[in-house]
Structure 1
Amino acid sequence: MHLNQVPESLNDVEVIAPNLKRKLSGVTSTIIQLVPLQRANGLGIVTIGPGLPATLPHIGWADLRGAWFKPRNRPFRIWHARRNTEMVAGIILRSVLRMKFKLLFTSAAQRDHRSFTKWLIRQMDGVIATSGKSGSFLKVPHRVIMHGIDTEKFYPPQNEEDAFSASGLPGKYLVGCSGRIRPSKGTDLFVDAMINLLPKYPEWTAVMTGRTTAEFSGFEKDLRGRIAAAGLQDRILFLGEVPDVRVWYRRMTLYVAPSRNEGFGLTPLEAMSSQTAVVASDAGAYAEMIELETGAVVPAGDGLALEKAIEPYLADPAKCEAAAKAGLAHVRANFPLQKEASSILEVYETIFADERVG
């Protein structure tokens, strides 16, 4: 079956990846990136639900009538949920309607789950945690499979457009962060660190890429006021949403991920894959993806620690270069998207090996 075809039946469908949220989210992005790779690996996987591009193999709810019958080459299908609503739907399909499903849940939450969520998780036939930190909140057997990135999409500088000089900004080196402008992303921590550090390091310029929603327009206005009061409005810049953030990763000598909290957080991996040194908080899975030779990690929300971690890199660009090279090798070895897809396939096969239908 061609990748873009909508299946006429479920005969060759082994796994269904539901997306029961219309608004784009990190979970949606994960599905969009993984499903084509999983199909390229020979897996019969389709999606169901709103908010997904037409390029993905997709079925409608009416097609699930075929799920009372087992697929051509498997004793059942796997319903791979990533949200509570999707776990609920899977339980109804398997345990109420008695369709031939087993249920898999991927958990990214890094907090103690509510009682209802714990109950849902206990009903699953398999569980994946996206980090060791998220796995520490699970009370059931699970496998840790961290997210990966497309290392062909995020790559080191290759031409003049990727050079800092192409940005037209003052200075010689660029330090930046990416993400929506809001307190949870630690934008204020980054700005305060830059206000304190840039006067000592005149060759550096700082940028922030990402949108500011109406809710946080006052937050951005306050940050701009602080920058203007320090006389650094030409060296600490809000770029807003940029057409392609990847080129900015390549132009940066140092990337900073100052978040107070994250679900997982891919930007340090994207920066390292672009051969850029990284300083990050320990929010999300940052601490599990950054090693000593690839960058530095500080406690989330600690502005002073963030500033102290950034300064050695501004003082010694050669330190950035060494960390950038180590980071590139680290990401390519440990975080390619294909590795994530292959590891999930191993979990599917483990579930399929138990031929009893849930």
Structure 2
Amino acid sequence: MSHKVLHICLSSGWGGLEMYPSRIIPELARQGWQAHGLALAGSRVAESFREAGVEPLTLASKGRALLAVGRVLAYLRAHEVEVIHCHKSSDLRLGALLATLRPSLRLFFTDHMGVTRPKKDPYHRWAYGKVARLFSISEATRQRNLAAFPLPAERIRRLYLGIDPAPYAPCLDDEARAALRRELGVPEGAVAIGLPGRLTPGKGQEVWIEALARLAAMNPDLAWHGVLIGGLTVGEGSDEAHVAALRRRIDELGLASRIAFTGFRRDLPRLFEALDIVCVPSRNEAFGLTVIEAMAAGKTVIGSDSGAIPELLDAETGRLAAPEDAAAWAAALAELAGDDDLRQRLGQAARHRVERDFTLAAHAASLVEEYENLQGAEGA
């Protein structure tokens, strides 16, 4: 049985979906599987494959992918690859065609985004009919997938994402942590309240800013500092018009001296060490990778009570607030900002939850089990 898989991600963007294949490749290798990659030439995805130690097969454009089917089939034969795994619904056209032309291939698909409309027309029945297993990254998305996709329930499986908790474990000494807080503009003794993620509509930065304004009015003597972590340009994955609107609103509320923009940072695990509270006010997260990253860092997290985030957080590990309710966010911030012991207890419980339920090793083990079981079923 071949223990080789081709991950297909023909995207020119860069977000959690695009990062997934390169994140999983080293763990797959540790569990005995050799990964291959198919990406667009010159894309950040192709670069990430190389950074993970895999030289990808590349295509000039997504629009010409179907014309390259012969080349891809030849690559699969030459490398004895029997498993293909797609990560964008648009890539299923190629994946399903490959599985049609070579029926021994096993096709997997991960729905990273959460489907928003039914996909039961003839094309989707054909394409998804070639999928051996569809992975939903949360129970919230699985329920939508069951209703939207033309697949029997037993072929749709919830498979939570995972991370390696080790890089998120605190490692800065007091002096280094204090220096990092100063770099972020956090005054000594202030509660650092962070919001990491792409600065785009839907991620909840607006309600967070309004909540901080309410917090300032409710608790005028409380020292706090807001930290917005994320790229500021299109090239860094953000919406520049949205960034400009956020800056205007911060100025209107008189909070310019109390909220800092960090820009794109590669040191998120260390930035978590500089924060006291992490906020994830996204309106409809399909999973919430940032939530479990902050939890792994032992941080107290406030998340939206919508999408998949309530599957990750509960009253023992953090707090939830309605994504459009600035007053609820302000109340949660006030509770946590004023209680160091509570933040510590919640943070410790959150880290234990990640170690128990959301590790990359456990995720990859489940993935490998699916790859191997379905290969075995095909060969039986």
Residue matched to 1:65: 74
Match of 2:341 among 313, 318, 328: 318
Tell me by how many angstroms 1:193 deviates.
0.5
Q: Please tell me the residue identity of whatever aligns with 1:49.
A: A
Residue matched to 1:125: 132
SS at match of 1:125: strand
Distance 1:164 1:186, change over 3 A: farther
Q: As a proportion of its length, which structure holds more helix? A: 2
Residue 101 (structure 1) aligned with residue 139 (structure 2): no
CA deviations on 1:291-319 (whole Å, 9 max, x unpaired) are 22110122333323222222211222221
Match of 1:115 among 115, 120, 133: 120
Residue matched to 1:156: 170
Q: Please tell me the residue identity of whatever aligns with 1:64.
A: L
CA deviations on 1:92-115 (whole Å, 9 max, x unpaired) are 1121x2352021111233333433
SS at match of 1:174: strand
Does structure 2 conserve the Cα–Cα contact (< 8 Å) formed by 1:162 and 1:247? no
Distance in 1 separating the partners of 2:205 and 2:233: 14
Distance in 2 separating the partners of 1:70 and 1:221: 49
User: In the TM superposition, what are the counterparts of 1:171-250 in structure 2 within 5 Å?
Assistant: 171-172=188-189, 173-199=191-217, 200=219, 201-213=221-233, 216-250=239-273
Does structure 1 conserve the Cα–Cα contact (< 8 Å) formed by 2:104 and 2:378? no
CA deviations on 1:14-63 (whole Å, 9 max, x unpaired) are 32111222332322211001012101211133222233232433453736
Residue 20 (structure 1) aligned with residue 29 (structure 2): no
SS at match of 1:153: helix
Distance in 1 separating the partners of 2:250 and 2:86: 44
Name which of structure 1's ranges 292-301 and 230-239 shifts more when overlaid on structure 2: 230-239
Distance in 2 separating the partners of 1:155 and 1:266: 16
Does structure 1 conserve the Cα–Cα contact (< 8 Å) formed by 2:86 and 2:108? yes
Match of 1:328 among 351, 356, 362: 351
CA deviations on 1:309-330 (whole Å, 9 max, x unpaired) are 2221122222111111111111
SS at match of 2:165: coil
Residue matched to 1:4: none
Does structure 2 conserve the Cα–Cα contact (< 8 Å) formed by 1:67 and 1:100? no
Residue matched to 2:142: 135
Distance 1:295 1:32, change over 3 A: same
CA deviations on 1:116-152 (whole Å, 9 max, x unpaired) are 5852323311121111011102233222111111212
Structure 2, unpaired ranges of 5+? 58-67, 147-151
Report the aligned-residue RMSD.
Answer: 2.7
Distance 1:44 1:182, change over 3 A: closer
Distance 1:162 1:271, change over 3 A: farther
Q: Please tell me the residue identity of whatever aligns with 2:336.
A: Y
Distance in 2 separating the partners of 1:70 and 1:354: 21
SS at match of 1:354: helix
Residue matched to 1:170: 187
Distance in 2 separating the partners of 1:243 and 1:15: 28
Distance 1:206 1:52, change over 3 A: same
SS at match of 2:298: coil
Residue matched to 2:319: 296
Residue matched to 1:5: none
Residue matched to 1:52: 46
Does structure 2 conserve the Cα–Cα contact (< 8 Å) formed by 1:262 and 1:283? yes
SS at match of 2:368: helix
Distance in 2 separating the partners of 1:338 and 1:294: 22
TM-score where L is the length of structure 2: 0.81
Residue matched to 2:23: 33
Distance 1:211 1:59, change over 3 A: closer
SS at match of 1:246: helix
Structure 1, unpaired ranges of 5+? 1-10
Does structure 1 conserve the Cα–Cα contact (< 8 Å) formed by 2:4 and 2:33? yes
SS at match of 2:342: helix
Q: Please tell me the residue identity of whatever aligns with 1:202.
A: L
Distance in 2 separating the partners of 1:47 and 1:65: 14
Distance in 2 separating the partners of 1:69 and 1:211: 40
Q: Please tell me the residue identity of whatever aligns with 1:106.
A: T
CA deviations on 1:227-246 (whole Å, 9 max, x unpaired) are 34444322222222235222
Q: Percent identity?
A: 23
Distance 1:164 1:184, change over 3 A: farther
Q: Please tell me the residue identity of whatever aligns with 1:254.
A: I
Distance in 2 separating the partners of 1:281 and 1:159: 32
SS at match of 1:147: coil
Distance in 2 separating the partners of 1:233 and 1:69: 58
Name which of structure 1's ranges 260-269 and 271-280 shifts more when overlaid on structure 2: 260-269
Does structure 1 conserve the Cα–Cα contact (< 8 Å) formed by 2:99 and 2:130? no
Q: Please tell me the residue identity of whatever aligns with 1:206.
A: G
Distance in 2 separating the partners of 1:189 and 1:203: 20
